[in-house]
Amino acid sequence: MEPLDLESKPPRGPREKLAGVYFLPRTIDKMRAELPGGKPGDYIVTGESSMSAYVLHKLRIDVDEMRAVVARAADEAEVEAWLRERIDPAVVEPLNAKLESSRMDATPPDKLEMVHARYPILAMRPDIVDAFGLLEADDAHTFAER
């Protein structure tokens, strides 16, 4: 796969699906940005605050193994075939439901501080109520400034 420049445009939106799972296209874009010649910008796949790492953990897919698959794959269809071999279909619906219902008002106070620090758009947009909306607003705000 070709590397991506996430300093010039955001990864795909969090509501996009691959293999039936929200967030996987966005995760793949972030991993492509880590390839030689790519530019990840502020987008990360590992760490406590990474939704990508959370999704992969719930799917029981190792982040570094997925990163290696993305690096060697000829195209996204190859990555999707690899994922379909590993994803337990019974996990998909509950994971998607959890992602859809991830609300800002349910975030523990200690995590909320971290979220506010990472996403300053929250101070300007009190109408944002869920994680998908937060990421979409952050992408729009970040790239409107460029």
Q: Are residues 57 and 37 in the same domain?
A: yes
Low-confidence ranges of the chain (pLDDT < 50): none
Considering the domain architecture, whether residues 87 and 135 belong to the same structural domain is answered as no
Q: Confirm whether pTM is higher than 0.85.
A: yes
Structure tokens at 86: 């590993």
Q: Are both 74 and 138 inside the same structural domain?
A: no
Q: Same structural domain for residues 72 and 143? A: no
Domain boundaries, position 90:
1-100
- 92 with 107, same domain: the answer is no
Residue 95 is predicted with a pLDDT of: 98
pLDDT score at 145: 62
As a dihedral over the C-alpha atoms of residue 18, residue 85, residue 87, residue 62, rounded to 10 degrees, the angle is: -100
Same domain, 107 and 141: yes
pLDDT, tens digit, 9 for 90 and up, residues 78-110: 999 999 999 999 999 999 999 999 998 888 888
Reduce the DSSP state of residue 79 to 3 states and report it.
helix
Supply the pLDDT for residue 110.
Answer: 84
Q: How far apart are CA 99 and CA 14, in angstroms?
A: 9
pLDDT at 49: 64
Helices marked H in 59-130 — which ranges? 63-72, 76-86, 89-100, 109-118, 121-124
